[in-house]
């Protein structure tokens, strides 16, 4: 993944050609090679003029929380899996980089389990297509829930024009205010304050959406993240053919940035007001730095440029081959199950391989707070085959009583993309953070912003 020709990049940069006296090109470090860090590298290299040198540091695997797991020769999404059709950054990058969409076969039927029994079932777990649920919640509740969701998506859409015009935001609440003056308050109020929705709808549908998408309950979540999870329950969701982690790999290739496979331990301010990064036994100086990972306290930052460590939700993902879900465990035949009350799992769902093939034996994905034992799995599933389990620090623990606002800008030329995650975590949110960092870097270094060049797809 090293640059084809760094020398070529330097020689052809307009800074070099236009300068009479030598002007050194800028050098920017991106810490983290997930979708957010690789997209930052892509935007920095393809929209800043003249083009800076970019080094991407990744201590683990490129892709981060986008990863695959293999069962019997088929690959499945282990981390971030679904993309909303209105996630414009993802949609545009996927098209630009020549990747393809994949949609799984529609859900057969989703059952809602309260810990003891299935309380109801629905064949279309989508908020926009809730006609069948109207009998339970009343049509007005559905209408109002959907109207509030569509209003929010409409306001969210404004971010794309705002970012296109080159705006840079120093903190998350300023970015949210630019989309809608109502957004910052939505990150500081409980989901329970959502107006006009029946208690039953809140408990069951809203609770289920939060549990499925973020592994947590409505009581502590913010109104903002609750609507994001409702959007994640809409129709038209898709994924990237071959696996979502193909996007970070394609972004890194199209950025033509250096990949440095090490953990950055420390970021210091250098005497010439640049940044000195330390990794392995090496250190180097950069004009600007972008932190593209949730801050966990293991990266040392200058003492006056801190980001706070915030709690993440630990989630176990279990992929299991089985011929069926044991119907006597649930009291009736089921396929996909979402917990709406006390249950050891958050959700159980049939999944399909990322290449669109159909495996010989069905595979289910389970999300849970604790790691399920083989014995438990064998009582819930029939004829269990291979099992793969992975623990993630998956997404923030959302709590409306804690201020979700956080700074993107930690210091002059030092940005923190994942500040945005405490408002809501999703691939698209990391891309909003990435574009913001590139816009801020352009402003800070006094570089022009341009449209990215069309990609020569044969080169990828
Ligand atoms: C189980 C699960 C399900 C999810 N489902 C969805 C979904 O359906 N749809 C959706 O949109 N989102 C989903 N998400 C969320 C989504 O995956 C994340 O929001 C997104 O992938 C975050 O990307 P990122 O690049 O910001 O961070 P990460 O992917 O966490 O990348 C950060 C990278 O930085 C590296 N790193 C950290 N510190 C250092 C250091 N000091 N030096 C070098 N490298 C470092 C890490 O190794 C990591 O690779 C899900 C997440 C999980 C875990
Ligand atoms: C809500 O937050 C409190 C305090 O952070 C915590 O003790 C409690 O377990 C949380 N409740 C849920 C349902 O997550
Ligand atoms: C299915 O579940 C029932 C009830 O929990 C249990 O008694 C039975 O042993 C399970 N069947 C299998 C095949 O594990
Ligand atoms: C973000 O900016 C707003 C407006 O300038 C300010 O009121 C708020 O305190 C800032 N938040 C943080 C975390 O710095």
From 377, 379, 382, 383, give the residue whose CB has the most ligand 3 atoms within 8 Å, as the site to mutate: 379
Residue 38 belongs to some domain of the structure:
yes
Residue 95 CA, ligand 4 centroid: distance in Å: 35
Cβ partners under 8 Å of residue 450, min gap 6: 47, 48, 49
Q: What is the number of the ligand 4 atom nearest to the C-alpha of 172?
A: 1
Examine the domain organization and report whether 123 and 195 are in the same domain: yes
- What gap in Å lies between CA 206 and CA 446, rounded to an integer? 45
Q: Say how many Å lie between the CA of residue 323 and the centre of ligand 3.
A: 14
- 91 in any annotated domain: no
For 154, the enclosing helix (H) or strand (E) is helix 139-156
Considering the domain architecture, whether residues 289 and 206 belong to the same structural domain is answered as no
Q: Which of 153, 32, 155, 47 has the alpha carbon at shortest distance from 93?
A: 47
Report how far ligand 2's centroid is from the alpha carbon of 398 (Å): 9
Please tell me the total count of domains within the chain.
Answer: 2
Answer yes or no: is 94 within a domain.
no
Confidence band for 137, pLDDT divided at 50, 70 and 90: confident
Tokens of 6: 């760094």
Do residues 259 and 323 share a domain? no
Task: Please name the residues in contact with 362: beta carbons below 8 A apart, sequence gap of 6 or more.
Answer: 321, 322, 323, 324, 350
Q: Quick one: which of 69, 55, 428 has its CA closest to 247?
A: 428
Distance CA 146, CA 152 (A): 10
The residue whose CA is least distant from atom 44 of ligand 1 is 58
Torsion over CA: 153, 223, 129, 337 (sign): positive
Q: Looking at residues 273-293, what average pLDDT do you find?
A: 97
Residues 430 and 393 in one domain: no
Q: Could you tell me the two tokens for 161?
A: 């024009």
Q: Are residues 150 and 205 in the same domain?
A: yes
Q: Which of 41, 125, 286, 427 to mutate to test the pocket of ligand 1 (most atoms within 8 A of CB)?
A: 427
378, two tokens: 């064998």
Alpha carbon of 402 to ligand 2 centroid (Å)? 12
User: Whole-angstrom Cα distance, residue 447 to residue 267?
Assistant: 23
Considering the domain architecture, whether residues 127 and 185 belong to the same structural domain is answered as: yes
Asked whether residue 273 is assigned to any structural domain, the reply reads yes
Let me know whether 148 and 43 are in one domain: no
State whether 149 and 201 are in the same domain: yes
Nearest Cα residue to atom 49 of ligand 1: 64
Average pLDDT over residues 175-191: 92
Q: How far is the CA of 377 from the centre of ligand 2 (A)?
A: 27
Residue with the smallest CA separation from ligand 3 atom 10 is 379
Residue whose CA is at the smallest distance from ligand 3 atom 2: 329
Q: In what order do the strands lie in the sheet with 264-269?
A: 264-269, 275-279, 282-286
Quick one: average pLDDT of 391-413?
94
Q: Using pLDDT thresholds of 50, 70 and 90, give the confidence band for residue 260.
A: very high
pLDDT tier at 403 (50, 70, 90 boundaries)?
confident
Q: Is 324 in the pocket of ligand 3 (CB under 6 A)?
A: no
- Residue with the smallest CA separation from ligand 4 atom 13 is 406
CB 44 within 8 A of CB 436: no
Only one residue has tokens 């209105």, namely 86
On whether both 339 and 217 belong to a single domain, the answer is yes
CATH of the domain at 303: 3.50.50.60
Q: Is the CB of 3 under 6 A from ligand 3?
A: no
Check whether 18 has a pLDDT greater than 50.
Answer: no
Asked if the structure places residue 13 within a domain, the reply is: yes
Query: What secondary structure letter does DSSP report for 51?
Result: P
**Mean pLDDT calculated for residue range 135-145:** 73
Expressed in angstroms and rounded, the spacing between residue 399 Cα and the centre of ligand 2 is 8
Give how far Cα 213 sits from Cα of 59, 231, 248, 268, 450, Å: 27, 10, 21, 37, 36
Same domain, 137 and 224: yes
Ligand 4, closest atom to CA 405? 13
Could you tell me if residue 84 is inside a domain?
no
How big is the chain by its Cα radius of gyration, in Å?
Answer: 23
Last residue of a domain, one of 360, 384, 401: 401
Least confident residue range of 11-15, 30-34, 245-249? 11-15
Q: What does the pLDDT average to over 259-288?
A: 97
State if residue 329 touches ligand 3 by the CB under 6 angstroms criterion: yes
Least confident of 76-85, 108-117, 158-167, 246-255: 108-117
Residue 97 within any structural domain of the chain: no
Q: What is the pLDDT of residues 27-81, one digit of tens each?
A: 999 999 999 999 999 999 999 999 999 999 999 999 999 999 999 999 999 999 9
217-240 confidence digits (pLDDT tens): 777 889 899 888 888 777 778 999
Task: Quote the distance between the C-alpha of residue 457 and its chain's center.
Answer: 25
Which residue's alpha carbon is at the smallest distance from atom 14 of ligand 4? 407
DSSP structural state of residue 46: H
From the list 381, 372, 342, the residue with the least C-alpha distance to 116 is 342
216 within some domain? yes
Q: Whose CA is nearest to atom 20 of ligand 1?
A: 427
**% residues pLDDT > 70 (the chain):** 89
The answer on 193 and 73 residing in a single domain is yes
Strand ranges (E), 114-209: 118-122
The reply to whether 18 and 58 lie within a common domain is yes
pLDDT surpassing 80 at residue 7: no
Note whether 263 and 282 are within 8 A (CB): no
* Averaged pLDDT, 441-456: 88
**CATH (domain of 224):** 3.90.660.10
Which atom of ligand 1 is nearest the CA belonging to 296? Answer: 38
Give residue 3's pLDDT band: very low, low, confident or very high (50, 70, 90): very low
Answer yes or no: is the C-beta of 369 below 6 A from any ligand 2 atom. Answer: no
Task: Check residue 19 and give its pLDDT.
Answer: 39
Is the minimum distance from the CB of 405 to ligand 4 under 6 angstroms? yes
C-alpha 376 – ligand 3 centre gap (Å): 10
Question: Which pLDDT score is estimated for 52?
Answer: 97
- For residue 456, how far is the Cα from the chain centroid? 27
* Ligand number, closest to the Cα atom of 422: 1
Q: What pTM was estimated for this model as a whole?
A: 0.92
Residues of the domain holding 111: 68-79+104-158+181-240+312-401
Check if 34 has its Cβ closer than 6 Å to any atom of ligand 1: yes
């Amino acid at each position: 993944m090293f640059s084809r020709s760094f020398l070529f990049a330097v020689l052809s940069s307009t800074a070099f050609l236009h300068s009479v006296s030598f002007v050194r090109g800028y050098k920017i470090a991106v810490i983290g090679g997930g979708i957010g860090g690789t997209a930052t590298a892509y935007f920095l290299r393809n929209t800043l003029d003249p083009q800076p040198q970019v080094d991407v540091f990744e201590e683990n695997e490129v892709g981060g929380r986008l990863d695959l797991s293999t069962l019997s020769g088929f690959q499945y999404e282990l981390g971030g899996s679904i993309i909303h059709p209105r996630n414009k950054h993802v949609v545009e990058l996927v098209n630009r980089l020549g990747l393809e969409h994949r949609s799984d076969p529609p859900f057969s039927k989703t059952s809602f389990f309260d810990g003891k029994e299935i309380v109801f079932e629905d064949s279309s777990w989508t908020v926009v297509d809730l006609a069948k649920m109207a009998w339970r919640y009343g049509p007005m509740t559905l209408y109002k829930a959907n109207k509030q969701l569509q209003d929010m998506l409409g306001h969210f859409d404004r971010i794309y024009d705002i970012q296109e015009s080159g705006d840079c935001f120093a903190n998350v609440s300023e970015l949210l205010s630019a989309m809608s003056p109502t957004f910052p308050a939505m990150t500081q109020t409980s989901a329970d304050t959502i107006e006009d929705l029946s208690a039953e709808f809140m408990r069951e549908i809203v609770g289920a959406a939060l549990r499925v998408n973020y592994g947590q309950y409505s009581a502590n979540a913010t109104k903002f993240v609750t609507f994001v999870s409702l959007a994640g329950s809409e129709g038209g969701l898709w994924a990237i053919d071959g696996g979502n982690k193909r996007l970070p790999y394609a972004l890194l290739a199209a950025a033509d940035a250096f990949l440095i496979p090490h953990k950055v331990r420390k970021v210091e301010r250098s005497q010439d007001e640049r940044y000195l990064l330390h990794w392995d036994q090496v250190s180097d100086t950069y004009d600007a730095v972008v932190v593209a990972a949730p801050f966990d306290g293991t990266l040392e930052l200058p003492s006056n440029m801190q980001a706070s460590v915030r709690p993440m939700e630990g989630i176990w993902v279990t992929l299991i081959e089985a011929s069926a879900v044991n119907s006597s465990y649930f009291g009736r035949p089921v396929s996909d199950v979402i917990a709406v009350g006390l249950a050891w799992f958050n959700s159980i769902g049939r999944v399909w391989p990322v290449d669109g093939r159909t495996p010989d034996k069905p595979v289910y994905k389970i999300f849970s707070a604790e790691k399920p034992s083989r014995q438990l799995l064998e009582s819930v599933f029939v004829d269990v085959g291979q099992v793969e389990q992975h623990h993630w620090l998956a997404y923030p623990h959302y709590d409306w009583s804690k201020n979700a606002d956080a700074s993107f800008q930690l210091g002059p030329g030092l940005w923190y993309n994942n500040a945005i995650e405490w408002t809501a975590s999703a691939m698209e949110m990391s891309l909003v953070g990435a574009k913001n960092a590139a816009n801020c870097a352009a402003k800070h270094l006094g570089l022009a912003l341009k449209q990215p060049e069309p990609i020569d797809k044969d080169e990828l």
